[in-house]
Structure 1
């Protein structure tokens, strides 16, 4: 282990680390709000407003025109067909989600036993009467437990050689720093499922499991039985944290996509009606039935309403895809990491020691 802990500050916050912080720049905070933190209905509304303004500006500068009745009726027909296709696709997604809920009694019992077994492991490791039910509280308990176990590990290697003590202290310092940040952030949340999931996705537990496994194996002979047991507790806490996050992510995505399906059906009906109305504007043989003075505003509004389901699709898929990408790893297999990326270097060297 050659680099010091400060090297972790240069990491991209996307794959791990509790980031962005309050000190992040406005562009980073704006990106995180747009991708994750912002209410999806607000994001979809902003996208619809952007479509409205874009159509209005393009007409004002003469790039597009609303005077050709044949062209506008063809556009209206295409909008109707596209909206029907999108609504059909969303209904298919909803059916796919529902199909996972139709299980036999034996499968339902296995699921329940798995959840109960996991909660018992958390309660045992944390020395608590029972694991909390709320996602944020459960993750907060695990973060506190990991930090406490890591501190115990550090105290158990105080008398070891410097070649063993120094890298483990560096590991513990980085781990407790990030768990403390996560604990503080979770303590400030509203304890909603998404807030907990968003914060947990920024904690680099995969890296710490990899680094901890390496250190435990590299110094196995030099560690006492108590230190080895403490190391096992730290790794168990990190593993339970990953399992909890995956469970909450699955539950959250099911609820998020179900809500997206509901909103798309609700918005899809006025969207189709707006596209039909756009065709009726040109039904009169003498031309548009609306005054040319207000016609650009009317058409821009209709187009924004027609594209409302697409705005919803973009808003929800951006969030679900971002959450999935940032948690797309299994254990210490980290596809989002560069070979040399991490809070510090963990490399093999002669005799299994770190350099």
Structure 2
């Protein structure tokens, strides 16, 4: 194909739906993805506390006006009751992926066994690792090794441009594979460290490029076996990566529902007690102490919303930025 017959199929295609650690703001990335959810919850809670104190200092919220504070706290306490429904919905979502009848569970189990056997056949291993992180690392290692062998499978009389493109493609596979392998070495299953190792690496554009090589540059290869093997490995890697993401999101949702229960109960009890005793405190306690009591009470009642916000931000961001599953590569 002539260079001017159409767009270069090997041109880098950036995706708005993929994890991009380079161009993204560090603060935004920390808030949406990398930051510890409990630390972010603490930061947001401190922000609420500071906002209440600032409103008092600005004369907007008068803590001596017990009626206004009690009305505010009562409304917030009442707003936490729907969180019981939210927790039940999250648990139902998680359990719906885990529960099933015998035939459904058998089909799911056989599908996983079949996929593992396909990967074992591709990688030449008798038994693949049982740990999800180790299994994924095993597939990435095989992909990197195949990428290294790819230039060596070219014919001696291959066109120089074809050789350069294939070598560049193999180097890209190796370069992207190294940080994934290093990150998965110490990754603990269920943590974001394990998931972030596979986001944004070996995306569908590699599979697309390998297929174009196979279709349009077959004559440049003395042996197309490594290229065919690479295509199969990249397809397996796409499935494994999405499976890993699914396991992580299920784990994260389970943790979120448990935290909402931990936070929701003291919020209801503490907020309810504060509503009852605040009129008495407003007349007997020093103004400085009363400001702290009011700020702590409002922050406590907001805590379930804060926890839900911090976890939902990451789950929603992961879902949005890893939507390009499979052979399709959305561009900018």
Structure 1 residue runs of 5 or longer lacking an equivalent are 339-355
- Structure 2 residue corresponding to 1:260, chosen from 242, 256, 260: 256
Structure 2 residue runs of 5 or longer lacking an equivalent are none
Q: SS of 1:64's equivalent?
A: coil
| 1:246 paired to 2:242 | yes
Partner of 2:182: 184
| 1:164 paired to 2:167 | no
Q: SS of 1:307's equivalent?
A: helix
Report deviation, 1:104: 0.7
| 1:233 paired to 2:229 | yes
The answer as to whether partners of 2:45 and 2:303 remain within 8 angstroms in 1 is: yes
Distance 1:291 1:157 in 2: 83
- Structure 1 residue corresponding to 2:324, chosen from 320, 324, 329: 329
Partner of 1:82: 79
Report deviation, 1:324: 1.4
Partner of 2:296: 301
Deviations 1:248-277 (A, max 9, x none): 211221121111111101110111123223
Distance 2:302 2:282 in 1: 25
Shift in alpha-carbon separation, 1:32–1:298, aligned structure 2, 3 A: same
Partner of 1:347: none
Report deviation, 1:37: 2.9
The answer as to whether partners of 1:140 and 1:183 remain within 8 angstroms in 2 is: yes
- Structure 1 residue corresponding to 2:194, chosen from 192, 196, 200: 196
Report deviation, 1:114: 0.9
Deviations 1:209-260 (A, max 9, x none): 1121222212235444x22x21111111111111111112112211211111
The answer as to whether partners of 2:17 and 2:322 remain within 8 angstroms in 1 is: no
| 1:34 paired to 2:31 | yes
| 1:313 paired to 2:308 | yes
Partner of 1:116: 113
Distance 1:330 1:191 in 2: 21
Distance 1:221 1:266 in 2: 64
Q: SS of 2:167's equivalent?
A: helix
The answer as to whether partners of 1:16 and 1:204 remain within 8 angstroms in 2 is: no
Report deviation, 1:329: 1.6
Distance 1:218 1:127 in 2: 28
**Structure 2 counterparts to residues 96-107 of structure 1, below 5 A:** 96-107=93-104
Shift in alpha-carbon separation, 1:192–1:93, aligned structure 2, 3 A: closer
Report deviation, 1:312: 0.8
- Structure 2 residue corresponding to 1:275, chosen from 252, 267, 271: 271
The answer as to whether partners of 1:56 and 1:296 remain within 8 angstroms in 2 is: yes
CA RMSD of aligned residues (A): 2.7
Deviations 1:190-217 (A, max 9, x none): 4655322111012142111112122221
Q: SS of 1:203's equivalent?
A: coil
Distance 2:235 2:121 in 1: 14
Partner of 1:209: 207
TM-score by structure 1 length? Answer: 0.82
Report deviation, 1:290: 3.2
Shift in alpha-carbon separation, 1:190–1:97, aligned structure 2, 3 A: closer
Shift in alpha-carbon separation, 1:188–1:11, aligned structure 2, 3 A: farther
Shift in alpha-carbon separation, 1:114–1:243, aligned structure 2, 3 A: same
